[in-house]
Chains A and B, each alone.
Chain A
Amino acid sequence: MILNARDGKSLPVYGDGKNIRDWLYVEDYCEAIWEIIKKRQRGVTYNVGGQNELENIVVVQKIADLLDEMVGSKEGGSRRELITMVPDRPGHDRRYAIDCSKIGQELGWSPKESFETGLRKTVQWYLDSEQWVERALSKFNGTF
């Protein structure tokens, strides 16, 4: 989605775009895993979440807005105009939300990044990693 937005290509969104996911920055997740492993507990389960419930369409709008800000808007227009609704996929669950209070209470873990700061770091990584991106795209002939 970030690369399509960068290049001014279509931004496809499934169904009505209102499926909800709970977003978590990957380094915050890595920290949570390490905190759990360090405790050496056996037979214990932790839910890890970012307390960032967002509709898919809102996530894509935020990506479009960030690219407009970070690389400049496309010929004066907003990248939001690239958003295209496509037929829903099978097995597309409507909403996930994680109660991560247990890991907070027991291990003192909480995410450091907000959705906005985490997404900005993610977009910046893609913009900075041109060689990685080109090689990954060529592996998939440009499509996932």
Chain B
Amino acid sequence: MFNNILVTGGCGFIGSNFIRYLLHQPAFSGRIINVDKLTYAGNPENLEGLSDCLSNHRYVFVKADICDQQALANIFDTYDIDAVCHFAAESHVDRSIVSPGQFIQTNIVGTYNLLECCRQRMDQVQLFHHISTDEVFGSLPQKGSFTEETPYKPNSPY
């Protein structure tokens, strides 16, 4: 199993729940490195009460922006990252319509930066898991459902 999982956006709603869940899985004995920019959507208090894990050095928080290539490279090397679970994203649809720039940076360039870090360390990084959203598929009529093969047809920059 993986020894050092990088979780991006780990202070958000799903990311923080995932970290909490994973640290309680008997099958996982490794370490989680949580990288979060702490925008309005991130709250470090979501991960309060993990002190047992903190004392075992199983959880590390690094405040960083995935758009910062140098910071990411340092994190991959310092913590010997062997898997990535990528939650970090700007996700507020209204904001993406009014000002898409930050969404392009974080969601596209940030993801590219993470992939580059992995590509430059092919022997070290074993897995890149990217979390997405059903919003990529656009809207459905009253019937039908999205499958993994449904073409992407989003209705917002998000």
Chain A residues within 8 Å of B, Cβ to Cβ: 22, 26-27, 29-31, 33-34, 36-38, 40, 42, 45-47, 49, 89-99, 102, 132, 135-136, 139-140
Contacts and interface: CB of A to CB of B under 8 A. Distances in A.
29 contacts: A22-B134, A26-B13, A26-B17, A27-B21, A29-B14, A29-B17, A34-B21, A34-B28, A37-B127, A37-B129, A46-B148, A47-B134, A47-B147, A47-B148, A89-B94, A90-B94, A90-B97, A91-B155, A91-B156, A93-B138, A94-B140, A95-B140, A96-B134, A97-B140, A98-B145, A132-B45, A135-B45, A136-B43, A139-B43
Nearest to A19: B139
A31 B21 contact: yes
Contacts of B144: 97
Given A40-B126, A97-B145, A33 B43 contact: no
Contacts of B14: 26, 29-30
Interface in B107-158: 126-127, 129, 131, 134-135, 137-142, 144-148, 155-156
A89 B17 CA distance: 28
B127 A95 contact: no
Interface of B: 1-2, 13-14, 17-18, 21-22, 25, 27-28, 40, 43, 45, 48, 83, 85, 93-94, 96-97, 126-127, 129, 131, 134-135, 137-142, 144-148, 155-156
Nearest to A102: B148
B114 to A, nearest CB: 15
B45 A30 contact: no
Given A22-B134, A26-B13, A27-B17, A37 B146 contact: no
Contacts of B131: 33
**Which residue, of A22, A30, A31, A42, has the highest number of chain B Cβ atoms within 10 A?**
A30
**Which residue, of A22, A37, A45, A90, has the highest number of chain B Cβ atoms within 10 A?**
A37
A37 B141 contact: no
B94 A96 contact: no
B61 to A, nearest CB: 17
B88 to A, nearest CB: 14
A30 B139 contact: no
A102 B22 contact: no
Contacts of A99: 145-147
Contact of A36 (B97, B129, B145): B129
Given A98-B134, A98-B146, A140-B40, A34 B140 contact: no
Contacts of A139: 43
B151 to A, nearest CB: 13
